[in-house]
Chain A
Amino acid sequence: VWLAAYGLFALRENSMVLSAAIFITLIGLIIYLHFVKIDQESLLVIGSLGIQVTSSYASGKESTIFIEMGQVKDVVINEAIHMQKVIYYLCILLQDPEDPQGVSEVVPLFQASLTECSKPRLDCLIEVYKSCQEILEQRKTAPQTN
C-alpha cells in the first residue's frame, strides 16, 4: 500500500494521497485487530451445564459460544492433513436430535493456533482432552433421577 501511495504522490504531487494511505492503513489495522487476530482462547467445562468456548481478540472483544451438555456427544482429538503436515485439533461432537447414535455437527476448538506454532501441541491437547473426559465421565456415571 505504501509503495503504491508514494508512487502516486510522486506522480500527482498531491499530499492527499499520503494521508489517505495513512488512513487506510489505520483502518485496516483496526479491522484486523478487532476481527481477525485472536489473543486468547479458553474452554470452560461445567459438568452439569455445558461447555463454553471463549475467544478474546486483540482489541478486547470477546466472543462466546455456549453448548449445553445435552447436545454434547463427546470431545475428541481429530487429525487432519494440512498442506505438508498432519495437524491435531480438539473438537466437540454434537448430538443429532433425531439419531441418538449419529453426530450432527463437529465444532472445532482453538482454531487460531492451528497453523501458527511449529512445536508439537499434541501434548497440550492431550492434557485438555484428559480433563474434559474426566468431567464427561461423571455425567455418564451419575445416577439417573426418577
Chain B
Amino acid sequence: MVLKVFFPSCCSSADSGILIGRWISEQNSAVILAVVHFPFIPVQVKQYLGEVQRVTKVSVSVLGSWSNSKQEKEESLSEFLEDLGTIFCHEPWIQISKEGDSKFWSCSTLQKHSKNPQEEEIILVYYDQRKVMLSHLHPPLDTAGQGAEDASKLSAIFDTVARSQVLFMTDRYDEGPIKLTHWQSDGVEASIIVELLKQASVPACMLLTFLLSLFSGICRSRVLKFWPLSFLWSKLSTCEQLGHRLQHLQVISSNKKAQNQNQLMRKANIFVSLLIDVALGILLMSWLYRKNRIGHLADTLIPVADHVAEELQDLLQWLMGAPAGLKMNRALDQVLGRFFLYHIHLWISYIHLLSPFIEMILWYVGLSACLGLTVALCILSDIIALLTFHIYCFYVYGARLYCLKIYGLSSLWRLFRGKKWNVLRQRVDSCSYDLDQLFIGTLLFTILLFLLPTTALYYLVFTLLRLLVVIVQGLIHLLVDLIDSLPLYSLILRLCRSYRLAAGVKFKVLEQQDGKPLRLLMQINPLSYGGVVQMYRLPTYSCYPRDSWASLCKKLFLGELIYPWKHKGDKQN
C-alpha cells in the first residue's frame, strides 16, 4: 500500500534529527509534527513524548529520521540514523534525506517485522502547519449528523495538528534537553493588544453581567406586567428588538468559556454585530441631530399626517360619488362615507392636539437610536404603524362588514336552494323550510346581494391601503432581521484569514523526478461565502409570510382579517 507522509513545509530547512508525529495506521499515513535535533538523550525524548501524549491525548511517537546534509551524503550519519531505528522502534521507520538545496528528497522505509518486504510507494505531502493548526474543518452539511467514527481522514489530520499545540510551545532556541523545530521556530507570535484585551475582558464581563441582571430584574417586575402595558409591549416591535439585544448581551457577557468552535464563532459574531449596530446608530444619530434635522422632521410630520388625512378624505368623497363609473347604492354609500369621514376628523383633531409635543417626543426618541441602528429602524416601523392607525381601523371595519355580508350571502344562498349547514356533521344538508322563512330569506338575500358592490368596493380600497402599509413595515423588519442575523465576524474572517474556515483541501502536484516520491502540496480550500452565512447565521425572531399565496387570496376574498407576517415565537392559530 502507499505510504503517505505529511511533512510541514516549515521543517524543510531544519537541521538533521529525528521526526516525531502521529502514525495513523488505518490510512497508512504519518503526520509529522516536529523535528528533534541532536544532541538528545533517547530516554529524555521518550519521557517528553509521554508527557505530551498525556496532555494532548494524541499518540505522538518517533516516526523516523531526517537528514539535511549541506554537502554530499555522509555515510556515517546515515548509519547512525539507521541505528536510531533500533532504539526507537516504530513500524515502519521512515527515513527522509535532503541533499544540498535540491527540491527532490529521497524517502525510504525500513520494515523490520514485515513478512513480505515489498518496496512501498511513498507520497510526500507538504502542508502549512500554522494554517492547518488554526483552521476548522467544516464537514459537508448533509453528513453533519453522522458519527465521528467514519469521520473523514482529513479531519483526523487536522485534529492531530490542532490538538498538539502544547508540542509547539518549546522550540530549538529554548534551553532544555529537547530541541524542536516546527512552525514557531521562525519566531513566536504574540500580540500585546490581544493580551491586554484578554486581561481587561474579565472584569468588563463581570460588570456587564451585574448591570444586565439588574436591568432584567426591573423588566420582569410585576409593575410592567399589567394587562394594558403587556399588550402594548407585545405589539411594539421595538420592545421585542430590545429584548433580543438584551439576550445577546447576556450571551456575550457570560463567564463560561466557549466550549467549541461554534459557540466561539457565535459569541464573536454577536459581539461584532452589536458593535457595528451601535456604531451605525450613533452615526445616524449624529447626522440627525446636526443642523437640527430632528426639528425639521418634527415640523414636517404634522403636515404629512394632515396631507394623508386629506387624501383619504378625497378618496372617500370619490367613493361616495360614482367611482370609476360604477353606480353605488346611495344610502349605504352616504352612511359608510360619513362614518369614515368622521373618523378621519377625529384623527386629525388628535394629531393637532399632540402637535406642540411632537418635537420634544421625537427628540428624546431619537436619542434612543444610539442603542443601535436596528432599534432606530424598529422605532420607525412603530411610528409608521401609529401614524397609519386610522387606515388599520378602516380596514378592520371594512373587512368585518364585508365578511358578515359574505357569510350572510352564503347561508341565504343555501336557504334559497333548500339546504342548510349542519353544524354537528360539518356539512351541507337539505332542509325543508316554511313558506314565510323562505320568503324572508329570499328578500334578505336580494338586499344583501344588491348592496354587495358598495361594501366590496370600500373593502377593496381599504385592503389595498392596508397592504401597502404592511408591505412597508415588512420591508423594514426584513432589513432589521438582516442586520441581526448576518454573521459579520465570520464573513470578515473568511475575507482576511480564509484558512480558518476550511471546507476541504486541495492538492497541487509539484515537480517530479523519476525514482523520487510523488510530491504534493496540500492547501486549504476555504468555505464559500454562502456556506459561511448558512453555517453561522444568528437565530433571530425572523418574520416570514404566514400563508401561502393561495390561502392569502382566499382570506382576502372571504374578508377574514389578515396578519401576513408571522414571527417565530408566535403560536399557530
Contacts and interface: CB of A to CB of B under 8 A. Distances in A.
Interface of A: 44, 46-49, 52, 54, 64-66, 68, 70-71, 97, 142-143, 145
Interface stretch (B196-204, B465-473, B504-512, B532-540): B504-512
Contacts of A64: 504, 506, 525
B146 A145 contact: no
Nearest to A138: B2
Contact of A66 (B2, B146, B507): B507
B526 to A, nearest CB: 10
Nearest to B528: A63
A100 to B, nearest CB: 11
B25 A145 contact: yes
Interface in B228-281: none
A49 B505 CA distance: 11
Given A70-B152, A70-B153, A97-B146, A48 B504 contact: no
B4 interface: yes
A70 B152 CA distance: 8
Contacts of B28: 48, 145
A97 B507 contact: no
A66 B150 contact: no
Given A44-B509, A46-B520, A143 B153 contact: no
8 contacts: A46-B520, A49-B507, A52-B506, A65-B525, A68-B154, A97-B146, A142-B1, A145-B25
B10 interface: no
B123 A48 contact: yes
Given A49-B507, A66-B505, A145-B1, 9 more contacts: A46-B518, A66-B507, A68-B152, A70-B150, A70-B152, A70-B153, A97-B143, A97-B146, A145-B25
Nearest to A65: B504
Q: What band does the interface of chain B fall in when counting residues whose beta carbon is under 8 Å from A? A: 20 to 34
Contacts of A65: 504, 525
A52 B505 CA distance: 9
Interface string B487-528: 000000000000000001111010000000010100001000
Contact of B4 (A49, A66, A68, A143): A49
Contacts of B1: 48, 142-143, 145
B506 A97 contact: no
B150 A97 contact: yes
B2 A48 contact: yes
A79 B9 CA distance: 44
Contacts of A47: 2
Nearest to A146: B25
Most A C-beta atoms less than 10 A away, residue of B123, B153, B154: B153
B506 A66 contact: yes
A45 to B, nearest CB: 11
A92 B38 CA distance: 49
A47 B154 CA distance: 15
A97 to B, nearest CB: 6
Contact of B153 (A44, A46, A52, A68): A68
Contacts of B153: 68, 70
B25 A48 contact: no
Pick the 3 closest A-B CB pairs, nearest first: A48-B2, A64-B506, A66-B504
Contacts of A52: 506-507
Interface string B149-189: 01011100000000000000000000000000000000000
Contacts of B506: 52, 54, 64, 66
Contacts of A49: 4, 123, 125, 507, 520
A142 B505 CA distance: 25
B143 A48 contact: no
A48 B30 CA distance: 13
Given A64-B525, A66-B505, A97-B146, A48 B152 contact: no
B152 to A, nearest CB: 5
B4 A48 contact: yes
A15 B153 CA distance: 60
A54 to B, nearest CB: 7
A132 to B, nearest CB: 16
Contacts of A54: 506
B501 to A, nearest CB: 15
B422 to A, nearest CB: 51
B157 to A, nearest CB: 11
Nearest to B507: A52
Nearest to A142: B1
B539 to A, nearest CB: 28
Contacts of B2: 47-48, 142
A47 B1 CA distance: 10
A65 B140 CA distance: 12
A56 to B, nearest CB: 12
B149 to A, nearest CB: 10
Contacts of A142: 1-2
A66 B525 CA distance: 9
Interface string B1-32: 11010000000000000000000010010000
Nearest to A144: B1
A137 to B, nearest CB: 14
Contacts of B505: 66
A130 B351 CA distance: 82
Nearest to A53: B506
Contacts of B125: 49
Contacts of A48: 1-2, 4, 28, 123
A46 B519 CA distance: 11
A48 B152 CA distance: 13
A49 B157 CA distance: 13
Contacts of A143: 1
A142 B150 CA distance: 21
Most A C-beta atoms less than 10 A away, residue of B2, B123, B143: B2
